[in-house]
């Protein structure tokens, strides 16, 4: 595998534009699959494009005395962070930029997303939006630590935090075989960071749409796009970290990665849309009493395997 990054291979500007395009397409795919699963009609796949175009031209409404600066920052930050997290996800075997701390970068973008979504809830000076923002924070307290342990488990097995190294270590054996708990926690946390599916309480109908309740026009488009792009980026990252990335017979590597990403998206949407929404006040104990010990145990098992030279 080449050690070049996408930015070195294509030049900085084309590489950045390419990653943005990949992110938007991934987001569109997630939204389309979501619509099809929810409505049961394949025709619904074009619905995201239609509603995006409508939101683009919709006039923005506002609230009484909003904190406009923070609100705008939050709305712009959500899709920006989703795209930034894609910078360390291998696309065609290369990442946009490669550092010795790719996994921590991905995690940092998620943490910033945490703050950004709270801002989206805070900005409009409205009770439902603020409630949604705080629900998002409360949920995050439950899954942030298990997610960190899950991410670090993949890095532990590869002996590197660099995404392309983790990619390369799985030539023979997919990480999901030895770390199923980490895989499930990672995918579930991705859904939770996009407050989607069973983790959609921050935008729940019981609080009139929560964080998204006062969003309109471009603002709503940005936040919704950020959610689906982040789900797509996380699916691609899950395929890279746990499902062997681009390893597979016959077909070229990047195509395998794409297929695995699509499979993760389909499975995530199919399972996620069949589960009831979790109450945010019922997640913290599960996260800390069940998931933290489980992920720690998972990391221990992997560490012992590493010491025995299992992954070498």
Partner 1 sequence: MLSDLSGWAIAAVAALGVLSVAAGVAVFVVDSMARATFALLASFLAVAGILLALDLVYLAVVTALMMTIEMAIMAVFMIMFMMNPAGLMPMTMVHNAKGSAVTGAGAFVVLVVGIWTIDWPTRDASRPADSTRQLGEAIMGSHMLVMLVIGIGLFTTILAGTVLATSRGRYDRFGADLTAKRPDDPVPGGLPR
State the residues that interact with partner 1 by CB under 8 A: 67, 69-70, 73, 99-101, 104-105, 107-108, 111-112, 114-115, 118-119, 122, 125, 130, 134, 137-138, 140-141, 144, 161, 281-286, 289-290
Q: How far is the CB of 128 from partner 1 (least distance, A)?
A: 13
Q: Choose between 30 and 291: whose C-beta lies nearer to partner 1.
A: 291
Q: How far is the CB of 77 from partner 1 (least distance, A)?
A: 10
- Which 3-state string (H, E, C) describes 28-94? HHHHHHHHHHHHCCHHHHHHHHHHHHHHHHCCCCCCCCCCHHHHHHHHHHHHHHHHHHHHHCCECCE
Q: Choose between 69 and 300: whose C-beta lies nearer to partner 1.
A: 69
Q: How far is the CB of 287 from partner 1 (least distance, A)?
A: 8
Give the dihedral sign, CA 103/155/239/249.
positive
Q: How far is the CB of 5 from partner 1 (least distance, A)?
A: 13
Q: Choose between 55 and 291: whose C-beta lies nearer to partner 1.
A: 291
Q: How far is the CB of 265 from partner 1 (least distance, A)?
A: 26
């Amino acid at each position: 595998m080449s050690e070049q990054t996408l930015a070195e291979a294509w030049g900085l500007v084309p590489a950045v534009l390419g990653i943005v395009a990949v992110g938007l397409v991934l987001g569109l795919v997630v939204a389309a699959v979501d619509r099809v699963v929810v409505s049961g009609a394949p025709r619904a796949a074009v619905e995201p494009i239609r509603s995006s175009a409508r939101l683009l031209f919709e006039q923005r409404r506002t609230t009484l005395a909003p904190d406009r600066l923070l609100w705008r920052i939050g709305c712009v930050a959500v899709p920006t962070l989703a795209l930034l997290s894609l910078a360390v996800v291998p696309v065609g075997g290369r990442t946009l930029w490669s550092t010795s701390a790719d996994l921590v970068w991905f995690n940092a973008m998620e943490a910033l997303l945490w703050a950004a979504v709270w801002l989206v809830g805070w900005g409009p000076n409205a009770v439902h939006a603020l409630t949604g923002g705080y629900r998002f924070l409360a949920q995050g307290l439950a899954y942030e630590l298990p997610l960190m342990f899950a991410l670090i488990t993949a890095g532990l097995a590869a002996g590197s935090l660099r995404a392309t190294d983790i990619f390369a270590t799985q030539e023979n054996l997919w990480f999901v075989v030895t770390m199923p708990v980490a895989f499930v926690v990672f995918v579930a946390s991705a859904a939770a960071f996009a407050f989607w599916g069973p983790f959609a309480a921050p935008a729940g109908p019981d609080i009139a749409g929560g964080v998204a309740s006062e969003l309109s026009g471009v603002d709503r488009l940005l936040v919704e796009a950020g959610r689906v792009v982040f789900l797509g980026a996380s699916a691609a990252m899950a395929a890279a970290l746990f499902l062997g990335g681009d390893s597979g017979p016959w077909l070229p590597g990047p195509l395998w990665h794409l297929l695995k990403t699509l499979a993760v998206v389909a499975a995530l949407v199919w399972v996620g849309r069949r589960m009831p929404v979790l109450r945010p006040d019922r997640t913290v104990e599960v996260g800390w009493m069940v998931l933290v010990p489980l992920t720690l145990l998972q990391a221990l098992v992997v560490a012992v395997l590493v010491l025995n030279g299992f992954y070498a």
